Amino acid sequence: MTTTSSVLTGASTRRTAERTAVLDKANVGDIRGALGTISVDDTGRRSSLSARLKTLLAIVGPGLIVMVGDNDAGAFSTYGQAGQVYGTKLLWTFLLLIPVIYVNQEMVLRLGAVTSVGFAKLILERFGRFWGAFSVIALFVVNALTIITEFIGIALAASYLGVPRIVSVILASVVIVLAAGTGSLRRFERVALFFCAGTFLLIPLYVLAHPPAGQMAAGFVLPTVPGGGSSGLSTVMLLIIAIVGTTVAPWQLFFQQSYVIDKRITPRFMRYEKTDLWIGIVTVIVGGGALMGATAAAFAGPRSRRVRGVAVHRVRGRRHARAEALAAPGSAAGEGLLRDVRGADRFGRGDRACAWLAARPADGGCAGALRRAAAQPDRLPAAALQ
């Protein structure tokens, strides 16, 4: 009996010694969120609605930021391409992803709250050094590539606003470094939530494009795989895979679990953190759906002729919006001729060319003028070039 007890005690001691992932002092203390604070000594029940709301405001952050953070440049281009090419027919992929997103992220928020250990550390302890190193190296490589796409998106967006690309990239880098390197989780969270609020700008874009509500509803609840033939099917399947890949990403697991630990969220506030996660899921679905619906209304289907000018007006500027609105009912050649953001670059003097086209009546005469200009740009009337 004594020998058995000694063996068990020795095994327990070895397991304790081998366990290196332990809770340190930095993970104990007040929950200091961007929108509120919960004292470490606050152990009272939240019986009133106002008390529950204040608690939720203090907890909110990890779930919302991790979900909205994936509505990035890659997601915008993917959702935009889906809306432009297939209209609203791929909206159902968002609803299909909801259970996948929730199961993954709810798992890591529980792991973080209960163990107070990061996701990579748990992989290392459970599966050994090889898989622990593999997960971290893979995460590093994928994140490096993702950061490149983010700065490409920043540069392109800034160029539309007239800001030089190199300037926009430098400014964005400074903001990111300052937000992440100040040593304050609360300051980082406030900056992150500020940028998350930008997602809601997609709602007025959706309202401006106002795609048919029935068409949007059908796209969400009626799964369809558009495209005919093997080549068309392979193309749409690649796009569906891209939608899944840009919405569900490995970095989210590592980020949210570490965030829960850094924010000192314990199992006691699990219900509030799950609510925070649902807020993030709803936000990313609404934002992605609004973007896909807006691009579908602006660039796909018969309504695009009328709506396209409005959508492009908000994105590319007043002069080019006129050119795009006139080019759409005219011909594909005229549309391609005027598609550059500065408008009618092939004419040499885009501003006056756009003004000349805008002065034409929106009828067959304008369409004919566009077709002739596309076919023979050198013969554009002199009034457009003076």
**Which of 12-21, 209-218, 274-283, 353-362 has the highest average model confidence (pLDDT)?**
274-283
User: Percentage of residues in the chain with pLDDT exceeding 90?
Assistant: 27
**Which of 139-148, 179-188, 329-338 has the highest average model confidence (pLDDT)?**
139-148
What Rg value do the Cα atoms of the chain yield, rounded?
A: 27
The closest alpha carbon to 303, from 316, 313, 294, 315, belongs to 294
Per-domain boundaries in the chain: 54-299, 317-384
| Mean pLDDT computed over every residue of the chain | 75
Strand locations in the chain, DSSP E? Answer: 31-33, 36-38
Residue 201: its pLDDT value, please? 86
Contacts 24+ apart (CB under 8 A), 175-184: none
- pLDDT-derived band at 130 (thresholds 50, 70, 90) equals very high
**Which of 180-184, 186-190, 243-247 has the highest average model confidence (pLDDT)?**
186-190
What mean pLDDT is predicted for residues 262-286? 92
- More confidently predicted of 378 and 58: 58
- pLDDT above 60 (res 362): no
What mean pLDDT is predicted for residues 350-356? 42
What mean pLDDT is predicted for residues 305-332? 39
Name residue, tokens 């980020």: 255
What mean pLDDT is predicted for residues 248-256? 88
What mean pLDDT is predicted for residues 338-347? 32
- pLDDT above 90 (res 137): yes
Map 15-28 to HEC letters.
HHHHCCCCCCHHHC
What mean pLDDT is predicted for residues 177-194? 86
pLDDT in tens, 153-174: 888 888 888 889 899 899 989 9
CA distance 346 to 360: 19
- More confidently predicted of 37 and 348: 37
Residue 289: its pLDDT value, please? 92
CA dihedral 120, 125, 128, 129 (to 10 degrees): 50
Amino acid residing at 342: R
- Per-residue DSSP letters for 118-185? -HHHHHHHHH-HHHHHHHHHHHHHHHHHHHHHHHHHHHHHHHHTT--HHHHHHHHHHHHHHHHHSS-H
pLDDT in tens, 87-112: 899 999 999 999 999 999 999 999 99
> Token pair of 108, please?
């890591």
pTM over 0.75: no
Q: Is residue 132 within 8 Å of residue 124, measured between CB atoms?
A: yes
- pLDDT above 90 (res 227): no
Cβ contacts of 281 within 8 Å, gap of 6 or more: 63, 67, 98, 101, 102
CA distance 115 to 133: 20
CA distance 287 to 213: 16
CA distance 68 to 247: 10
CA distance 152 to 243: 19
The closest alpha carbon to 72, from 173, 171, 177, 148, belongs to 148
pLDDT in tens, 34-93: 888 888 888 888 888 999 999 999 999 999 999 998 888 888 888 988 998 888 999 999
